[in-house]
Amino acid sequence: MVRHRGVYRADSLEPYELSRSRIENFVRCPACFYMQQVEGIKFPSIPGYNINEATDILLKRDFDKCRELGVTHSFLRARGYDHLVPLRHAKIKKWTQSLHFGADGYFHTVHQPTNLKIGGGIDDVWLNSDSGQVHIVDYKSTSQKSPGREISLEDKWKASYKRQMDLYVWIMQRMGLKVSEIGYFIYCDGDRFTDKPFLGKDVANMYFKMSILPYCTTQQWIEPTLLGIKNVLGASSRPNHSESCEYGSFLVSSR
């Protein structure tokens, strides 16, 4: 059977594949979601966040060494998390590959009431040797603009990070793993206030303040959102603009 992805086809019996970022699009604006998923409108692409990607790769590399050895990392031990060990699992590499999430063996689940296949790519999974559960881990990078501030998850842009974690815990539970409702964010905060020199003879060194933030997930929003998505996918016309749109005030129907 041909996989059902890209533009939605109402007559397809195959589960329709939606990544967590497309679900986030729906949460932010059902009209935008409809234009992309049903009308097939291509939105302008944005350049990749290459420095963030680099910190992800370097973190993964460090945690992979621990995974091979079955030990925790000194970063975790120093913060009292020595019971957390990067998980060894035959499919862990597949679970990290967001572009292929809909293929067999990758990170997804099918929600039967809507026939949606929901998935994505996780950054890491840690085994909790005390509880036997696993924790989903997400890496984030930033550079705070005010000195001395602790990283937190309490600003409006980070609501989407929380939804991402909520969704990934939900998916992994449905994949049959014993998953904790607690996920962890590892934050790399590029320190622009350091007194240490940046430029050396051959290289420049940026220092990152590191934090680990536990987050207790919730799943209450997921089911109603998936049902809402199914309704919008089957609608014959585009939903209205969102009243909370950041681009302006749109009080009339988009058509």
Amino acid 148 reads: G
State the nearest-atom distance from the C-beta of 41 to ligand SF4, in Å.
Answer: 10
Q: Which residue is nearest to ligand SF4 (CB)?
A: 245
**Contact status: 32 vs ligand SF4 (CB under 6 A):** yes
Nearer of residues 36 and 180 to ligand SF4, judged by Cβ: 36
d(CA 94, CA 101) in angstroms, rounded, equals 8
Number of neighbouring beta carbons within 10 Å of residue 23: 21
40: left (phi over 0), alpha (psi -120 to 50) or beta: left
The stretch near ligand SF4 (CB under 6 A) out of 42-50, 103-111, 229-237, 238-246 is 238-246
**Contact status: 232 vs ligand SF4 (CB under 6 A):** no
State the nearest-atom distance from the C-beta of 223 to ligand SF4, in Å.
Answer: 23
Among 29, 59, 127, 167, binds ligand SF4 (CB under 6 A): 29
d(CA 239, CA 171) in angstroms, rounded, equals 28
Q: Do the Cβ atoms of 232 and 30 come closer than 8 Å?
A: yes
Q: Do the Cβ atoms of 213 and 187 come closer than 8 Å?
A: yes
**Contact status: 157 vs ligand SF4 (CB under 6 A):** no
Q: Do the Cβ atoms of 15 and 115 come closer than 8 Å?
A: yes
Nearer of residues 28 and 174 to ligand SF4, judged by Cβ: 28
Nearest to 139 by CA among 219, 62, 220: 62
Nearer of residues 26 and 106 to ligand SF4, judged by Cβ: 26
State the nearest-atom distance from the C-beta of 31 to ligand SF4, in Å.
Answer: 4
**Contact status: 216 vs ligand SF4 (CB under 6 A):** no
Task: Enumerate binding residues for ligand SF4 (CB under 6 A).
Answer: 29, 31-32, 241-242, 245, 247, 250
